[in-house]
């Protein structure tokens, strides 16, 4: 894929000596650089900036409050998995028609919290405070985990931290093929490299500036050969003409590259977005048809496909995943109710905490080197929730 273009760096003077800041400056010698004081707000910074330029502007600053937070999907309306996110970067250079960041993010600038040592200490303290639990923690909630890695080298900072933590996995979730730096890092098996999966027609028509499918598959094969675990995210699954044939071909092709025994987990979720986001999608992407299917407002207030259509999509994906990936794959739904679980898989987690425990149990059974002893369900039932993330 083509390198992402960054032409402006706005640097909070409080982080001008941080390693991440220096990495950006070294990687982008031709970028326009502006240093600022009193950078807690965006009003001054946004003068002269436009949304069109925002994806090419990086604002490096110091973190405020917690950076390690609970996934915003963790909710009682649907079964969710108590996943944790590191919001070190907010903003993404990839342009997906369905991306919820275009609705929630209040500034066009990409914000990077550059005080890495403080972020790492927060992670260590949280994970060590509950040694009886196994944490799944990712960086891809408010950004693509690897899109900026050639500039920031953040993976070189964060992966060694998880390599030494006995009760946590780091997930790097991406639509890119930016993996060269990962191949030089000693990850100790504690990192999952995950990719969003959609057929080529959906990638070309809805996921602009992302890596084509074949490039993603090549990147998967490379990290797999270097001992990384893999994650697969069929989310959002999209309904369109010929979807059935194309998803079938995709999954068959996927397992020509991916070894099922390398796969830590597979998620499934359908298109969903806040009702007010429809106008933004149609205005920014007038050629897309994703908002014109049969949609209904769900329990969480988001628009999603009607249940019969979701069941049709999920049953097909689930069948093909089992056919080509085998019965040992850990498959789960993202933000779906127990009825969907029951009608597609024949069972449902009893609660969010139960699903969290089932992740740990599956990981222990398939990758026993990750844990010193089998997970105990009581540890997940009594876990103290993290702060919920606030989308910027």
Q: pLDDT per residue over 361-384, tens digit each? A: 999 999 999 999 999 999 998 644
pTM here is 0.93
Closest CA to 320 of 217, 221, 230, 249: 249
Residue 53 has pLDDT above 80, yes or no: no
- Mean pLDDT of all residues in 166-190: 97
Half-sphere exposure of residue 320, counting CA atoms within 13 Å on the CB side?
A: 19
Q: Residue 365 — left, alpha, or beta (φ > 0 → left; ψ -120 to 50 → alpha)?
A: alpha
Q: What are the DSSP calls for 324-382, one per residue?
A: HH-TT--EEESSB-HHHHHHHHS---SSHHHHHHHHHHHHHHH-GGG-SS---HHHHHT
Half-sphere exposure of residue 130, counting CA atoms within 13 Å on the CB side?
A: 19
pLDDT, tens only, 62-102: 988 899 998 876 556 788 889 999 999 999 999 999 999 88
Phi, psi of 288 (to 5 degrees): -75, 150
pLDDT at 104: 76
pLDDT at 77: 72
Number of Cβ atoms within 10 Å of the Cβ of 7: 12
Return the minimum-mean-pLDDT range out of 76-80, 102-106, 387-391. Answer: 387-391
Return the minimum-mean-pLDDT range out of 19-23, 64-68, 102-106. Answer: 102-106
pLDDT at 382: 60
Report the side by side order of strands in the sheet with 272-273: 272-273, 303-305, 295-297
Q: What is the mean pLDDT of the chain?
A: 91
pLDDT at 392: 35
- Mean pLDDT of all residues in 151-166: 96
pLDDT, tens only, 187-242: 999 999 999 999 999 999 999 999 999 999 999 999 999 999 999 999 999 999 99
Residue 49 has pLDDT above 60, yes or no: no
Residue 54 has pLDDT above 80, yes or no: no
Rounded CA gap, 373 and 368, in Å? Answer: 8
pLDDT, tens only, 235-261: 999 999 999 999 999 999 999 999 999
| CA-CA-CA-CA dihedral for 19, 175, 102, 41, to nearest 10 | 0
pLDDT at 47: 54
pLDDT at 386: 39
């Amino acid at each position: 894929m083509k390198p992402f273009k960054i032409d402006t760096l706005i640097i909070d003077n409080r982080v001008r000596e941080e390693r991440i800041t220096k990495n950006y400056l070294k990687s982008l010698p031709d970028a326009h650089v502006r240093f600022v004081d009193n950078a807690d707000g965006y009003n001054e910074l946004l003068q002269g900036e436009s949304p069109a330029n925002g994806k090419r502007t990086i604002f490096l600053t110091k973190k405020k409050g917690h950076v390690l937070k609970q996934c915003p999907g963790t909710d009682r309306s649907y079964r969710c998995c108590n996943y944790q996110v590191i919001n070190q970067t907010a903003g993404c250079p990839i342009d997906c028609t369905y991306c919820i960041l275009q609705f929630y993010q209040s500034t066009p600038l990409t914000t990077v919290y550059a005080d890495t040592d403080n972020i790492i200490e927060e992670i260590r303290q949280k994970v060590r405070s509950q040694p009886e639990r196994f944490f799944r923690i990712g960086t891809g909630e408010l950004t693509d985990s690897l899109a900026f890695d050639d500039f920031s080298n953040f993976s070189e900072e964060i992966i060694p931290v998880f390599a030494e933590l006995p009760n946590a996995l780091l997930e790097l979730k991406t639509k890119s093929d930016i993996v060269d730096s990962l191949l030089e890092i000693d990850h100790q098996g504690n990192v999952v490299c995950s990719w969003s999966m959609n057929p080529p027609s959906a990638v070309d028509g809805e996921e602009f500036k992302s890596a084509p499918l074949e490039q993603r598959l090549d990147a998967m094969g490379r990290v797999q050969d270097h001992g990384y675990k893999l994650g697969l995210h069929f989310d959002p699954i999209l309904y369109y003409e010929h979807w059935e044939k194309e998803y079938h071909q995709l999954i068959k092709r996927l397992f020509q590259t991916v070894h099922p025994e390398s796969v830590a987990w597979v998620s499934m979720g359908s298109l969903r977005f806040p009702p007010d986001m429809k106008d933004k999608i149609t205005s920014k992407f007038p050629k897309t048809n994703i908002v014109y299917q049969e949609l209904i407002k769900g329990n969480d207030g988001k628009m999603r496909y009607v249940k019969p259509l979701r069941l049709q999509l999920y049953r097909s994906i689930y069948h093909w995943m089992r056919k080509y990936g085998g019965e040992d794959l850990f498959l789960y739904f993202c933000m779906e109710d127990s009825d969907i679980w029951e009608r597609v898989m024949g069972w449902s987690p009893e609660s969010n905490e139960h699903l969290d425990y089932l992740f740990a149990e599956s990981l222990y059974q398939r990758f026993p080197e990750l844990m010193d002893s089998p997970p105990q369900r009581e540890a997940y039932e009594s876990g103290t929730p993290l702060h919920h993330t606030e989308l910027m």
